[in-house]
């Protein structure tokens, strides 16, 4: 029977008592050797006997109606089996945690690149050829709006406010009013989206590249109009997600539909170009920051307005000002968002939605304010640390932002920062910059099962490991709790026949699935304590030995038949009473070529307090990865849309520039400050990966300004933009 | 991908026999196979020349170096003779692609790689280079990578090769063999045609002609050679602009300069007036800027490539500062170490 636990109050820090030293240790990922030797099977690896292959066909108009799909145009081609299309086909992937079929426009086309049909053939090559040749006729609409700046279909909620922003801004001694833009971005996971569907009677098994199986199962069943019990999804390994695999995508539904009709397995792997066309992108943003402060640096007024875009019918709007709402606070706060409707690839959650782009603007504006006040940027932030969430009044569950800022400045050698433009090494200007980091933290309903036998333990949950280290940390939690070496714990993930977890998203997977694993293991400890005849608090389990009630017994002797416990966790009162967020500080040193405007990041430091660290190595990798994405957002990443059709022009990884190795400095340091977030969840953790991104890009851009005077308002800071800004600054 | 026939040639004359209507030779395949997968190119037959012994190797023929068309980019960049006599070439190659691609990419294939104009890659978009007469979607589209010299109303695409830019500044020649077995030589710049009204015809190669080698003339003594490539990330990106400079000093003045520019034209771009403007000049930002102005004055920009004018101007100054010793940087200029 599943025990459900609601997080209503702080819990004892049991993982600090168990004393095995496994939780937190920088252990290797257990599945690592399989991955590097090609034995970890991803969704598209392996093709069952008799499987056919499908390739998605895209719409080549921006908006309108399909008047005909001429199946005869390809039916004679060798190897072609059939063309599938119809109202069930997905236009939009599901948004994260939707748990139901995504909105669809029926036979309409709403963006150029929209999947409209699937061609199935005996080989991938034949299917791709046929997909290319398939003749589709349209009735195109005229005057389609693809540019958010020109959209007249705008949705605007009342601004979220606290205090009176206008009055506080008018009264402030120093004010700043700046606008920034960020481009659309792609999640750019290495593994393309893929699905392999196979039916047995009315039951579907789908191997997919998906992040949140508990929700995905519901989404897929709803899309196909069948009960969720009839769907099993397997995703034991996922090659990166970054938000793009939160919800099911067109490949999954198309594969399932074709497979049902054909009575044979069908595999659909998106080509890289289709991944760019049809997977949720991050919206471009345009942002306006208004800051008002006293001469001594105390913020009086803060407003962060933004415009984002999405396709018609999609509810998601990037929460751009999320961190601005709680990071500093002021007497007057105001946040207004405008959602512009456009015919472009639908937008959704991509790596730290909100903070990743919002903090680029907020933390550059803070840097500009520090400059106006002739104040140290670190000192300005230290002056404005709020005691409570300024919008909601909730106390923070745990915050060490001040410590991160001070410790970071110390370790980085911030003292050595020179006045703007005054440090030159050969042809290069050199400068330093910093920014705060914040990313709100969540606990999402999750269940896990733990089995303990004389042989060892097994953890089972439908949680995914998208390259982040879930296999490692769940094994560590169970081992720590059950007094076993980690090798004695097997972790089974990515199968909807296991208890349903949060999935990987919003950096809440470790908190949520980790807590469920912890609670299931704790229930087993209770049984063992009973068998030892001692209280739970007296029981110690270490290295396979149980001690308690003055007895010492090998664990195996306490277990006659397998002990099985399932536990479920969900957010409770503490999520109302307290506000939980990860905090940190990013520091960067950059060199800017005085002539060509090229920026090279020389070193980066991130000091972060993110609750209990479950595995020092995987946590560090997460934080580093986040910082590299921050670098990408600041300097290289930009999805280009065609001004006429709105379609994505940079449709492969040669044209969409994620940072390459040479962009990433050798000196990348991450420091974790010791922290326990008692209000967050029973294991006192916080999310990690996305905090690494939040603010990191701004630290780099602030360093560019310090180096050479260039303040780049339109990201990314490519050489041409740096040159223009340098010239504008008189350098 | 469409089905195609595949045959492997063991000798040059064997290859000549296999190349016919609808056939394409394949060397490293790093460009051609990508284009075949997305069906921008769909040759009916591939003639694999990658095992032909006569096309391999780098040899010293007394007049300079003869580089076989199959010498890989990696082989070339690492060759000791090239690194000392023509360091520019080594640097330009290493500024391109990735180690894995350079290991496969060949000298001939590099010269003949197709443009990176994104509309050329997208079969749903009009492109005169892909389908003559269809129109040019780039004109009113997104155009950051487009050319600013030598374009026509029919095509604005830039040639993406870095190696070809260096070879141009080094005054290299290509050696071409016809189907009938005759050999001719051309300066690298003359290999390429400007788009005019037929952007699909990119070179002067006649049907059945293949590139057999590239010839580097004996290096001039004591030249300083620089390759400056500016791109949207530090590595693994095509040039926004690049400058190849071979400069020989005469005392404290510039004796001669041979420059070529990449990322800005349908072929490695040269401008004799710019080279000439530098002769006799005392190194300095002013003289370099004046020469750069001569170059940039000729530019014709798409709205998205306006930035290339200041960027090219500045990159040229930066390259000349390195080539004349005004600046030392991490990647610095290389002096050709040739006995005078
Ligand atoms: C992701 C990526 C990034 C890249 N970045 C760069 C870069 O930054 N800078 C750069 O310069 N290049 C770059 N390249 C391009 C790379 O240099 C070329 O793909 C490579 O040089 C082509 O050589 P190949 O031997 O593989 O040619 P293939 O693909 O085999 O052939 C290319 C063309 O040349 C023809 N051909 C080949 N050999 C001969 C011959 N001897 N005679 C006649 N015709 C011949 C073929 O028929 C074909 O049309 C990049 C490529 C990729 C995929
Ligand atoms: S610029 Fe040239 S390659 Fe690009 S779309 Fe136009 S014709 Fe094609």
Q: Is residue B248 part of a domain?
A: yes
* Model pLDDT for residues B234-280, shown as the tens digit of each residue: 999 999 999 999 999 999 999 999 999 999 999 999 999 999 999 99
CATH of the domain at B265: 3.30.390.50
What's the angle, vertex CA A239, arms to CA B38 and CA A119, rounded to 5? 35
Instruction: Assess whether pLDDT exceeds 60 at residue B337.
Output: no
Catalytic residue selected from A284, A480, A638, A690: A690
Among protein residues, the one with the nearest Cα to ligand 1's atom 14 is B97
The CA B127 to ligand 2 mean position distance, Å, reads 5
Quote ipTM for the complex: 0.96
Spatial separation of the C-alpha atoms in residues A302 and A297, rounded to whole Å: 13
Query: Token pair 């609601």 is at which residue?
Result: A6
Spatial separation of the C-alpha atoms in residues B147 and B117, rounded to whole Å: 10
Name the residue of A654, A655, A656 whose CB sits within 8 Å of the most ligand 1 atoms, as the mutation to test its pocket: A654
Strands in A352-468 per DSSP E: 424-425, 428-440, 446-453, 456-460
CA A415 to chain centre: 34
DSSP notation for A190-230: SSPPEEEEEEETTEEEEEE--S-HHHHHHHHHHHHTS-GGG
Nearest CA to A92 among A218, A260, A253, A317? A253
Out of B36, B51, B66, pick the residue that ends a domain: B51
Task: Give bridge partners of residue B228 from the DSSP assignment.
Answer: B243
For A68-81, letters b (16+ CB in 10 Å) and e give ebebeebeebebbb
A410 and A515 belong to one structural domain: no
Burial of B263 by CB count in 10 Å (0-12 exposed, 13-18 middle, 19+ buried)? buried
The CA A185 to ligand 2 mean position distance, Å, reads 25
* Structural domain for B317, as ranges: 223-324
A588 and A697 belong to one structural domain: yes
A368 and A390 belong to one structural domain: yes
Question: B70 near B108, Cβ under 8 Å?
Answer: yes
**Beta-carbon contacts of residue B277 (< 8 Å; ≥ 6 apart):** B290, B291, B294
Both tokens assigned to A504:
């990987």
Q: Which of B230, B233, B263 is the best residue to mutate to test the A interface, defined by the most A CB atoms within 10 Å of its own CB?
A: B233
- The alpha helices in A7-152, defined as continuous H runs, are 32-36, 72-75, 124-133
Name the residue of B31, B95, B106, B159 whose CB sits within 8 Å of the most ligand 1 atoms, as the mutation to test its pocket: B31
CA A8 to chain centre: 26
Q: What is the mean pLDDT of each run of 10 residues along chain A (731 residues)?
A: 91 96 98 96 94 97 95 96 88 90 85 96 97 97 94 95 98 98 98 98 98 97 96 98 96 97 98 97 98 98 98 95 96 98 97 97 98 98 96 96 98 98 96 97 98 96 97 98 97 98 95 98 96 94 94 94 97 98 98 98 98 98 97 98 96 96 97 98 96 98 98 98 97 91
DSSP assignment, residue A538? G
Q: Is residue A326 part of a domain?
A: no
Q: Is residue A416 part of a domain?
A: yes
Q: Is residue B191 part of a domain?
A: no
Q: Is residue A163 part of a domain?
A: no
Q: Is residue B319 part of a domain?
A: yes
A256 and A366 belong to one structural domain: no
Query: Token pair 């590139």 is at which residue?
Result: B211
- The alpha helices in chain B, defined as continuous H runs, are 12-18, 32-37, 73-78, 80-85, 87-94, 99-104, 107-112, 163-169, 188-191, 272-278, 285-296, 308-323
Q: Is residue B320 part of a domain?
A: yes
* A666/B contact by beta carbon, under 8 A: no
A692 and A676 belong to one structural domain: yes
Q: Which pLDDT value is given to residue B335?
A: 63
Spatial separation of the C-alpha atoms in residues A494 and A459, rounded to whole Å: 12
B314 to chain A: closest CA residue: A595
Q: Is residue A626 part of a domain?
A: yes
**Beta-carbon contacts of residue A360 (< 8 Å; ≥ 6 apart):** A180, A182, A633, A634, A697, A698, A701, A715
Out of A541, A571, A601, pick the residue that ends a domain: A571
Question: A705 near A367, Cβ under 8 Å?
Answer: yes
Among protein residues, the one with the nearest Cα to ligand 1's atom 44 is B210
Both tokens assigned to A632:
């990408």
A585 and A655 belong to one structural domain: yes
Provide Rg for chain A, Cα atoms.
26
B308 to chain A: closest CA residue: A720
Q: Which pLDDT value is given to residue A90?
A: 75
A694 and A630 belong to one structural domain: yes
Both tokens assigned to A60:
């080549």
Nearest CA to A14 among A411, A508, A515? A515
Burial of B228 by CB count in 10 Å (0-12 exposed, 13-18 middle, 19+ buried)? buried
Q: Tell me, using a 6 A CB cutoff, whether residue B117 lines ligand 2.
A: yes
**Beta-carbon contacts of residue A122 (< 8 Å; ≥ 6 apart):** A52, A53, A79, A81
Out of A252, A268, A284, pick the residue that ends a domain: A268
* B4/A contact by beta carbon, under 8 A: no
Q: Is the dihedral of CA B202, B203, B207, B208 positive or negative?
A: negative
Question: A172 near A294, Cβ under 8 Å?
Answer: yes
Q: Which pLDDT value is given to residue B336?
A: 61
The CA B264 to ligand 2 mean position distance, Å, reads 14
Interchain pair A428, B307: CB under 8 A: no
A458 and A427 belong to one structural domain: no
Closest CB to A649: pick one of B3, B118, B233. B118
Spatial separation of the C-alpha atoms in residues B35 and B41, rounded to whole Å: 5
3-class SS string, A281-295: EECCEEEEEEEEECC
Q: Which pLDDT value is given to residue B220?
A: 81
Closest CB to B232: pick one of A427, A600, A718. A718
Out of A246, A268, A290, pick the residue that ends a domain: A268
CATH of the domain at A392: 3.30.365.10
Most distant CA pair in chain B: distance in Å? Answer: 62
Spatial separation of the C-alpha atoms in residues A320 and A726, rounded to whole Å: 28
Q: Is residue B76 part of a domain?
A: no
CATH of the domain at B35: 3.30.43.10
Burial of A711 by CB count in 10 Å (0-12 exposed, 13-18 middle, 19+ buried)? buried
Name the residue of B35, B117, B264, B305 whose CB sits within 8 Å of the most ligand 2 atoms, as the mutation to test its pocket: B117
Spatial separation of the C-alpha atoms in residues A251 and A278, rounded to whole Å: 10
Closest CB to A427: pick one of B123, B236, B329. B329
* Model pLDDT for residues B71-106, shown as the tens digit of each residue: 999 999 999 999 999 999 999 999 999 999 999 999
Domains identified in chain B, total number: 2
Closest CB to B327: pick one of A60, A427, A654. A427
Report CA dihedral (A163, A578, A395, A334) to the nearest 10 degrees: -20
A563 and A509 belong to one structural domain: yes
Both tokens assigned to A510:
């470790």
Q: Which of A129, A134, A649 is the best residue to mutate to test the B interface, defined by the most B CB atoms within 10 Å of its own CB?
A: A649
- Does A690 participate in catalysis according to the annotation? yes
Strands in chain B per DSSP E: 5-8, 23-26, 45-48, 58-60, 64-68, 173-177, 183-187, 210-217, 223-230, 241-250, 253-262, 334-335
DSSP assignment, residue B106? B
Both tokens assigned to B119:
């509309």
* A125/B contact by beta carbon, under 8 A: yes
Q: Which pLDDT value is given to residue B219?
A: 84
B2 to chain A: closest CA residue: A129
Domains identified in chain A, total number: 3
Q: Is residue B340 part of a domain?
A: no
Spatial separation of the C-alpha atoms in residues B36 and B34, rounded to whole Å: 5
Both tokens assigned to A628:
């590299």
Q: CA separation (Å) from B254 to A236, A245, A338, B219, B319? A: 65, 59, 59, 17, 14
Give φ, ψ of B35 to 5 degrees.
-70, -30
Q: Mean pLDDT throughout B123-145?
A: 97
Mean pLDDT computed over every residue of chain B: 95
Q: Is residue A498 part of a domain?
A: yes
Query: Token pair 């090998």 is at which residue?
Result: A554
Nearest CA to B226 among B277, B265, B170, B274? B170
* Structural domain for A30, as ranges: 3-40+444-571
Reply yes or no: is the peptide bond before residue A716 cis, omega within 30 of 0: yes
Nearest CA to A630 among A705, A700, A710? A700
A533 and A450 belong to one structural domain: yes
Spatial separation of the C-alpha atoms in residues A216 and A690, rounded to whole Å: 22
Q: A271 to chain B: which residues are within 8 Å by CB? A: 38
Task: Give bridge partners of residue B335 from the DSSP assignment.
Answer: B224
Q: Is residue B42 part of a domain?
A: yes
Q: CA separation (Å) from A275 to A186, A187, A618? A: 9, 9, 27
Q: CA separation (Å) from A302 to A287, A380, A582? A: 13, 14, 21
3-state secondary structure of A542: strand
Spatial separation of the C-alpha atoms in residues A342 and B84, rounded to whole Å: 56
CATH of the domain at A126: 3.90.1170.50
Query: Token pair 């980066």 is at which residue?
Result: A604
Q: Which pLDDT value is given to residue B339?
A: 39
Q: Beta strand A115-121 with A52-58: parallel, antiparallel or unpaired?
A: antiparallel
A595 and A657 belong to one structural domain: yes
A75 and A202 belong to one structural domain: yes
Q: Is residue A319 part of a domain?
A: no
Q: Is residue B123 part of a domain?
A: no
């Amino acid at each position: 029977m599943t025990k459900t636990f609601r997080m209503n109050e702080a819990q004892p820090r049991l993982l600090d008592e168990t004393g095995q030293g496994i939780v937190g240790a920088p252990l290797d990922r257990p599945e690592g050797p399989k991955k590097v030797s090609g034995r970890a099977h991803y969704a598209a690896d392996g093709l069952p006997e008799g499987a056919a292959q499908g390739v998605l066909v895209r719409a080549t108009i921006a908006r309108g109606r399909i008047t005909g799909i001429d199946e005869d145009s390809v039916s004679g081609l060798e190897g072609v089996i059939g063309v599938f299309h119809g109202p069930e086909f997905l236009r939009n992937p599901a948004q994260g945690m939707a748990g139901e079929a995504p909105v669809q426009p029926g036979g309409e086309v709403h963006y150029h690149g929209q999947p409209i049909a699937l061609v199935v053939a005996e080989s991938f090559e034949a299917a791709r050829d046929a997909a290319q040749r398939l003749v589709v006729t349209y009735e195109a609409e005229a005057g389609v709006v693809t540019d958010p700046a020109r959209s007249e279909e705008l949705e605007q909620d009342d601004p979220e406010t606290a205090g009176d922003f206008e009055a506080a801004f008018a009264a402030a001694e120093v004010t700043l009013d700046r606008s920034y833009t960020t481009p659309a971005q792609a999640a750019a996971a290495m593994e393309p989206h893929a699905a392999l569907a196979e039916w047995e009677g009315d039951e579907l098994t789908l191997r997919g590249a998906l992040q949140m199986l508990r929700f995905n199962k519901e989404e897929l069943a709803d899309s196909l109009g069948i009960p969720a019990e009839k769907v099993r999804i397997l995703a034991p390994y996922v090659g990166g997600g970054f938000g793009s695999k939160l919800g099911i995508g067109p490949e999954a539904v198309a594969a399932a539909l074709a497979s049902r009709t054909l009575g044979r397995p069908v595999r659909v792997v998106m080509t890289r170009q289709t991944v760019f066309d049809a997977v949720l992108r991050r919206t471009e943003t345009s942002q306006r920051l208004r800051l008002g402060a006293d001469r001594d640096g105390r913020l009086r007024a803060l407003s962060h307005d933004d415009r984002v875009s999405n396709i018609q019918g999609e509810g998601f709007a990037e929460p751009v000002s999320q961190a601005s709402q709680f990071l500093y606070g002021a007497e007057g706060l105001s946040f207004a968002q405008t959602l512009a409707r456009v015919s472009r690839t639908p937008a959704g959650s991509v790596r730290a939605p909100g903070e990743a782009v919002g903090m680029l603007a907020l933390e550059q504006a803070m840097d500009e304010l520090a400059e106006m006040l002739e104040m140290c940027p670190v000192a300005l932030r230290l002056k404005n640390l709020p005691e409570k969430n300024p919008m909601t009044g909730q106390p923070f569950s745990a915050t060490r932002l001040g410590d991160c800022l001070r410790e970071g400045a110390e370790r980085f050698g911030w003292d050595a920062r020179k006045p703007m433009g005054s440090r030159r090494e050969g042809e290069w200007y050199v400068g330093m910059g910093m920014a705060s980091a914040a990313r709100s933290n969540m606990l999402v309903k999750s269940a896990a099962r733990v089995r303990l036998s004389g042989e060892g333990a097994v953890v089972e949950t439908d949680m995914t490991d998208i390259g982040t280290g879930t296999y490692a940390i769940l094994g560590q939690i169970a081992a720590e709790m059950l007094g076993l070496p980690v090798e004695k714990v097997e972790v089974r993930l990515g199968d909807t026949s296991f208890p349903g977890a949060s999935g990987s998203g919003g950096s809440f997977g470790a908190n949520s699935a980790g807590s469920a694993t912890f609670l299931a293991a704790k229930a087993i400890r209770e049984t063992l304590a009973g068998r030892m005849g001692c209280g739970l608090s007296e029981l110690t389990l270490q290295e396979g030995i149980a001690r308690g009630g003055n007895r010492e017994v090998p664990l195996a002797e306490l277990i006659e038949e397998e002990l099985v416990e399932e536990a479920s966790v969900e957010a409770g009162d503490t999520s109302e009473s307290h506000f939980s967020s990860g905090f940190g500080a990013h520091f960067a040193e950059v060199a800017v070529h005085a002539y060509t405007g090229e920026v090279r990041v020389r070193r980066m430091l991130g000091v972060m307090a993110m609750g209990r660290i479950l595995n020092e190595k995987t946590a560090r990798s997460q934080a580093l990865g986040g910082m590299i994405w921050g670098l990408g957002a600041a300097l290289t990443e930009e999805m280009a849309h065609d001004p006429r059709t709105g379609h994505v022009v940079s449709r492969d990884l040669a044209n969409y520039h994620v940072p390459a190795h040479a962009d990433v400095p050798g000196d990348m340091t991450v420091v974790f400050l010791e922290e326990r977030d008692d209000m967050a969840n029973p294991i006192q953790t916080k999310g990690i990966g996305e905090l690494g991104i939040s603010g990191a890009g701004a630290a780099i851009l602030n360093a560019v300004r310090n180096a050479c005077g260039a303040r780049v308002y339109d990201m990314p800071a490519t050489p041409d933009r740096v040159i223009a800004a340098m010239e504008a600054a008189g350098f | 991908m469409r089905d195609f026939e595949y045959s492997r040639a063991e000798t040059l004359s064997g290859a000549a026999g296999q190349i016919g209507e609808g056939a394409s030779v394949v060397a490293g395949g790093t460009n051609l196979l990508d284009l075949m997968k997305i069906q921008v190119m769909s040759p009916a037959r591939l003639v694999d020349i990658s095992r032909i012994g006569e096309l391999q190797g780098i040899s010293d023929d007394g007049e300079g170096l003869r580089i076989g068309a199959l010498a890989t980019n990696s082989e070339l960049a690492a060759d000791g003779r090239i690194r000392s006599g023509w360091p520019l070439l080594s640097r330009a190659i290493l500024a391109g692609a990735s180690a894995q691609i350079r290991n496969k990419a060949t000298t001939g294939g590099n010269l003949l790689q197709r443009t990176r104009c994104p509309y050329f890659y997208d079969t749903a978009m009009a492109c005169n280079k892909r389908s003559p007469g269809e129109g040019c979607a780039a004109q009113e589209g997104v155009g950051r990578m487009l050319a600013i010299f030598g374009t026509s109303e029919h095509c604005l695409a830039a040639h993406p090769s870095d190696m070809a830019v260096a070879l141009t500044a080094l005054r290299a020649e290509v050696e071409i063999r016809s189907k009938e077995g005759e050999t001719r030589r051309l300066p690298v710049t003359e290999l390429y045609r400007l788009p005019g009204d037929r952007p699909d015809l990119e070179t002067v190669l006649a049907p059945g002609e293949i590139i057999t080698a590239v010839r580097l003339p004996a290096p001039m003594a004591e030249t300083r050679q620089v390759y400056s490539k500016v791109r949207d990330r530090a590595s693994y990106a095509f040039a926004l602009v690049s400058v190849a400079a071979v400069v020989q000093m005469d005392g404290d003045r510039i004796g001669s300069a041979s420059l070529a520019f990449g990322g800005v034209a349908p072929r490695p771009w040269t401008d004799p007036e710019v080279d000439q403007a530098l002769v006799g000049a005392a190194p300095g930002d002013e003289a370099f800027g004046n020469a750069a102005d001569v170059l940039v004055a000729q530019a014709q920009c798409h709205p998205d490539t306006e930035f290339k004018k200041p960027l090219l101007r500045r990159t040229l100054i930066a390259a000349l500062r390195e080539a004349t010793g005004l600046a030392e940087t991490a990647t610095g200029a290389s002096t050709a170490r040739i006995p005078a």
